[in-house]
Structure 1
Amino acid sequence: MGKYVFAVTRQQPLDEDDLWSASDSESADAAAATAAGDDSDEEIIDNDDESVVDTDVEEDAEEDAAVVAPEGAATFADDDFDLPSELEDEDDEAGDDDEARPKASASGFLSAEDGEAEYDSPAQAVESDSDSEAAEAEAAEEDSEQEDSEQEDSEQEDSEQEEASEEEDSDDEEEEEQTAAKNMLSDSDDGSVTDSDADSDADLLPIEKDAKALDEQIAQEEQEDAADIQTNIASFPALQEQDDIAAGKLTGDSIFGARDRIQEVLRILNNFKTLRDPKIDRCDYVARLHADLKAVYNYNDFLLELLAHLFNEQELVAFLEASDSPRPMVIRTNTLKTRRKDLAQALVDRGVNCENVPWNKVALQIFDSPVPIGATPEYLAGHYILQGASSMLPVMALAPQEGERVLDMAAAPGGKTTHIGALLKNSGMVVANDVNAARCRSLMANVHRLGVRNCVVTNVEGQAIPRMLGGFDRVLLDAPCSGTGVISKDPTVKMSRDAINIAHTSHMQRQLLLAAIDAVDAHSKTGGVIVYSTCSVATEENERVVEYALTMRPNVRLVETGLEFGTPGFTRFRGRQFSDSMKLTRRFYPHVHNMDGFYVAKFRKVSNVVP
């Protein structure tokens, strides 16, 4: 039979009455040995049967493994042992009722609250209590150490989690940087910032960075504007914008967008079959172009339509643009007082930058001057006169000869009159007429300043001159006109000209041209020449007037103007057929010849009798 001993501790001191003695003497000896604290390596319990400690006790013992039995107390051996048969029966009965038998505590001892235990003597009980208190203190210290260890383990786990989270964030940032680098490399062809650009930006000053940022913003806006051009062309303006265009109230941004559309429409019309939108007709593109031109250049509908019939789309835009730019400053040397070479040298000595006009022997072009050209001593002395290059053309076509009688029917302010006088070298006679008395005063001032002594100034209606004076060798009619060729000098023409104005001036021009033809002597030995000119580009004031004169005066013929350059006049215009001789006339345009718009026609009178 195996031996067994229950070692019991108790928190409260035990009375002697509570002690129990083992019924078996061997059990009493074992209890005494335990109380005396004998140390022995011999196993007290040796049995192959199941342990008396139940499953709950084993689980509690595992959780509180740090708690150990006090020194000197007997403990259960790990090896199985056999119980007596009578105890086995009792154990089976106790298995049915857990409260029927005492239970082991977490430390492997019986609890005083679970059952009664008896000791051999009071000293044994006191010593057992002391051992129990020491075990509890040691258990509490171990519990504290375990808690500290668990807290350290928890903190270490939190630290490891934080480090893992930081590593994940770092990995995410690296992936984002790699993705951004790939995007920048893929977008580098489109002008995006590359790694080298970023490195160079770090070396820039703040003001340089701001300037670069501004340049990038401007470039981006230009790209966005360019991307919107086609959409702007395809879509017509809103009703309010159409009203603003008609009223000339577009803002600066609208004008900027209109200029972009103008250039894009011109590009499409220049290669219409390839670049056109199949949904948009050519007339729609042209209508869009005219609306933008009217808004940008501030023309009324009538005048813009008149010019659109004269030019194609490319030439129309070029003409409008040139008409908004000033023409070169040109002066004409007065050969009655000096030579062009001497005048040029005198002006150069005063710091004037000038150059000879190649197609005229007496003209100088002024590029810049430190002094007003109209207030130099040479000007006041009558050595030159400010005169547009185009206004010299009619006199060149007239080509007066010395000793001739020449009539200038619309002479003020005197540029052409004094030119004729210089070519005549003060021989013969020049009759300078103007219907406006106030303008005649400026005409006489220029005649006196330039030293023309063979001039007579009159103030009569041009149509009455043939009845008063006749028999002229040559007649120059620089007729009053709408001024559509000199818009750069008078921008009010853009909005002030209409069909009534053009019709009125055209009628007056026809009457003056007939009077000029009648004033010429067809039997003049050197002359019989009439030159008609206007500063207009409208056919109503040019080819149609000449066609009318050829119809009403069959005794005149068109002849070569003698001008080395210029665009031939129209022989057909908008379905109207003109005389084939109309190609002998000359047209001059600001966008082609860099001078004011002009028209020159030269007639020769073959008979004084009107058929």
Structure 2
Amino acid sequence: MELIAYLKALLGDELPDFLAAVPEPPTVAVNSFKCDRRSFENKLKQWGMTYAPHPVDPASYILASDPLPLSHTLSFLMGEFRYQGISSQLPALALDPQPDETVLDLAAAPGGKSIQVAALMKNRGRLLLNDSSIKRMEPLMANLSRAAVANDVLLNLPGQMIGRLLPEFFDRVLVDAPCSGLNFYTARLQRQHWNVHYLQTIANIQEQLLISAIKAAKINGVIVYSTCSMTPEENEMVLQRILQRYPVMVEPVPDWKLSSARPGWSHHQGYVFPVALQRALRIYPFPDPMEGFFIVRLRKTAGLPIRPVNHPVRWLPTQPFDDPQISPILANLHQLWGIEPSFFAPYRFRVNTHKLWLTTNAWLTIPDSGLVKTGLPLAVKKSHFWKLTSSAAQWLGAQITRSLMELSSDQLHQLLSKGETTNPGEALRYYAATRHGKPIGVVSQSHGKLKLKIPHPFRLVQDTDV
């Protein structure tokens, strides 16, 4: 089998360890905009979960198993935590984004690292997210909204374009590049037709994405390149070509004490790599069960010529809360939902014909090229009023003082398992549905039924939240 022959050449005497490695255990990370560590640890105990702390990130927990599963808890629906692998959390930590910086996530879907970056930025500054796949936009937006990320602008463009569209614009850039996924010997790898020619195809894409990232970074800016692959074709060989041609230097990643961590390779099958690449980090799926990964941190040391694009970026203004276009909408939200307009004073807004978006005051203007969304979707235009989104209702919490409806436990179970439940009332109305006074989403009432849009049917775990 060609794959086994490749793995033998790749790993040598360690091939049996690779083939025998066990999968990475389920890992969950607290979404800091919705929950704190102590509260979440109490919930883990209440759910009867056996867990250990993440070896690097104290706001993340490795589960011994996930029998419930936790994706069927009300806490998951409320965005209090997300699933994100042990290794997958390391690239954003290596990037080390700071509040009030301008940061790019070049290949953002499905959004775990983007949420992590937003949390490290404390939902401040400017976080530009991009992904080239239109199919991945909907789950990416759902994950971002559920976590209450508000400092982001999301584009749907080929990542290779960003460096020319926004040259030397970002303080930090994350390139978690699409890859072969050769990080663990899964059933998927055994089934698929695998060949080394695919590695060259994907490596070319990865190299172009990294070049785009370097162009997009400011001088002295930081770029983190990562893949969930152990192949040198996608990692050291890509970096070797980049270091020969572009003004970047390799910086050490944090000195994490991980049993499965090793430095980047110095050589492989006749290839000799730059000594600096030994500052990169390789994660093996053994001895500890971790997903195979590669992470390198670069710093841009000088400018470089960048060919201008034919159609430069058009910048769209955002509006403050007292803008003549925005203030009537906020007055309508106050009338229907009781939210004081002054609450929105620290934020800025973008509105189109049917939706109002809320973002941070750092985004005075936003790029129009490939624009998908700006920050948190706050409200949707109906015929004569504005309806809060469910993600906004969860984020606003106690700011909502009108149009509230407390659900019974039975109603909550039915809403989350079927998307609807019975409730007296004929005229169409919208409510912020609550449980124990905490908004869980916006429901519509009509013809004796309440309806709630849910991402999937929930077999709701019975706990104190419920």
What is the Cα deviation at residue 542 of structure 1? 0.5
- Supply the distance in 1 between the matched residues of 2:177 and 2:245 (Cα, whole angstroms): 18
Q: How does 1:4-403 map to 2 (within 5 A)?
A: 300-301=1-2, 303-313=3-13, 315-322=14-21, 325-403=22-100
| Contact 1:396–1:563, Cα closer than 8 Å, also in 2 | no
Which is higher, the Rg of structure 1 or of structure 2? 1
Q: 1:494 to 1:404 in 2, by over 3 A?
A: farther
Q: 1:531 aligns with which of 220, 224, 227?
A: 224
Q: Which amino acid aligns with 1:571?
A: S
Q: 1:558 to 1:487 in 2, by over 3 A?
A: same
- Supply the distance in 1 between the matched residues of 2:193 and 2:234 (Cα, whole angstroms): 16
Q: Confirm whether residue 552 of structure 1 aligns to residue 245 of structure 2.
A: yes
Q: Which amino acid aligns with 2:252?
A: E
TM (normalized to structure 1)?
0.48
What is the Cα deviation at residue 367 of structure 1? 1.6
What is the Cα deviation at residue 362 of structure 1? 1.2
- Supply the distance in 1 between the matched residues of 2:267 and 2:49 (Cα, whole angstroms): 46
- Supply the distance in 1 between the matched residues of 2:197 and 2:55 (Cα, whole angstroms): 40
Q: 1:476 aligns with which of 157, 166, 174?
A: 174
What is the Cα deviation at residue 466 of structure 1? 1.6
Match of 1:587 in 2: 282
Query: Deviation per CA, 1:546-590, whole angstroms, max 9, x where unpaired?
Result: 11111120x100010114142011111111111011100010011
What is the Cα deviation at residue 432 of structure 1? 1.2
- Supply the distance in 1 between the matched residues of 2:198 and 2:172 (Cα, whole angstroms): 29
Q: Which amino acid aligns with 1:600?
A: I
Between 1 and 2, higher relative CO (CA 8 Å, sep ≥ 6) is seen in: 2
Higher helix share: 1
Secondary structure of 1:593's match?
coil
Secondary structure of 1:336's match?
coil
What is the Cα deviation at residue 599 of structure 1? 0.3
Unmatched runs of 5 consecutive residues or more in structure 1: 1-299
Query: Deviation per CA, 1:187-225, whole angstroms, max 9, x where unpaired?
Result: xxxxxxxxxxxxxxxxxxxxxxxxxxxxxxxxxxxxxxx
Unmatched runs of 5 consecutive residues or more in structure 2: 307-466
| Contact 1:482–1:493, Cα closer than 8 Å, also in 2 | no
Match of 1:419 in 2: 116
- Supply the distance in 2 between the matched residues of 1:369 and 1:328 (Cα, whole angstroms): 9
Match of 1:601 in 2: 296
What is the Cα deviation at residue 329 of structure 1? 0.8
What is the Cα deviation at residue 500 of structure 1? 1.7
Q: Which amino acid aligns with 2:254?
A: G
| Contact 1:398–1:529, Cα closer than 8 Å, also in 2 | yes
Match of 1:496 in 2: 193
Q: RMSD of the alignment, in Å? A: 1.7
- Supply the distance in 1 between the matched residues of 2:20 and 2:210 (Cα, whole angstroms): 32
| Contact 2:26–2:65, Cα closer than 8 Å, also in 1 | no
Match of 1:405 in 2: 102
Q: Confirm whether residue 464 of structure 1 aligns to residue 161 of structure 2.
A: yes
What is the Cα deviation at residue 610 of structure 1? 6.0
Query: Deviation per CA, 1:428-460, whole angstroms, max 9, x where unpaired?
Result: 111111111110111100000001011111110
- Supply the distance in 2 between the matched residues of 1:424 and 1:368 (Cα, whole angstroms): 31
Q: 1:585 to 1:370 in 2, by over 3 A?
A: closer
Q: Confirm whether residue 508 of structure 1 aligns to residue 200 of structure 2.
A: no
What is the Cα deviation at residue 369 of structure 1? 4.4
- Supply the distance in 2 between the matched residues of 1:422 and 1:412 (Cα, whole angstroms): 16
TM (normalized to structure 2)?
0.63
- Supply the distance in 1 between the matched residues of 2:172 and 2:287 (Cα, whole angstroms): 30
| Contact 2:250–2:296, Cα closer than 8 Å, also in 1 | yes
| Contact 2:108–2:129, Cα closer than 8 Å, also in 1 | yes
- Supply the distance in 2 between the matched residues of 1:433 and 1:486 (Cα, whole angstroms): 27
Q: 1:517 to 1:449 in 2, by over 3 A?
A: same
Q: Which amino acid aligns with 2:219?
A: A
- Supply the distance in 1 between the matched residues of 2:255 and 2:109 (Cα, whole angstroms): 24
Higher strand share: 2
Secondary structure of 2:170's match?
coil
Query: Deviation per CA, 1:263-302, whole angstroms, max 9, x where unpaired?
Result: xxxxxxxxxxxxxxxxxxxxxxxxxxxxxxxxxxxxx32x
Query: Deviation per CA, 1:216-254, whole angstroms, max 9, x where unpaired?
Result: xxxxxxxxxxxxxxxxxxxxxxxxxxxxxxxxxxxxxxx
- Supply the distance in 2 between the matched residues of 1:409 and 1:493 (Cα, whole angstroms): 30
| Contact 1:487–1:494, Cα closer than 8 Å, also in 2 | no
Q: 1:312 to 1:487 in 2, by over 3 A?
A: closer
**Matched residue count:** 302
Q: Which ranges of 4 or more aligned residues in structure 1 deviate by more than 6 Å?
A: none
Q: 1:602 to 1:493 in 2, by over 3 A?
A: farther
Q: Confirm whether residue 541 of structure 1 aligns to residue 244 of structure 2.
A: no
- Supply the distance in 1 between the matched residues of 2:300 and 2:284 (Cα, whole angstroms): 28
Secondary structure of 2:265's match?
coil
Q: Which amino acid aligns with 2:183?
A: G
Secondary structure of 2:108's match?
coil
Q: 1:370 to 1:494 in 2, by over 3 A?
A: closer
What is the Cα deviation at residue 363 of structure 1? 0.9
What is the Cα deviation at residue 425 of structure 1? 0.8
| Contact 1:398–1:476, Cα closer than 8 Å, also in 2 | yes
- Supply the distance in 2 between the matched residues of 1:351 and 1:521 (Cα, whole angstroms): 48
- Supply the distance in 2 between the matched residues of 1:445 and 1:343 (Cα, whole angstroms): 21
- Supply the distance in 1 between the matched residues of 2:190 and 2:160 (Cα, whole angstroms): 26
| Contact 1:559–1:602, Cα closer than 8 Å, also in 2 | yes
- Supply the distance in 2 between the matched residues of 1:538 and 1:596 (Cα, whole angstroms): 13
- Supply the distance in 1 between the matched residues of 2:192 and 2:99 (Cα, whole angstroms): 44
| Contact 2:26–2:66, Cα closer than 8 Å, also in 1 | no
Q: Which amino acid aligns with 1:568?
A: P
| Contact 1:351–1:370, Cα closer than 8 Å, also in 2 | no
Q: Which amino acid aligns with 1:453?
A: A
| Contact 1:529–1:604, Cα closer than 8 Å, also in 2 | yes
Query: Deviation per CA, 1:109-150, whole angstroms, max 9, x where unpaired?
Result: xxxxxxxxxxxxxxxxxxxxxxxxxxxxxxxxxxxxxxxxxx
| Contact 2:182–2:231, Cα closer than 8 Å, also in 1 | yes
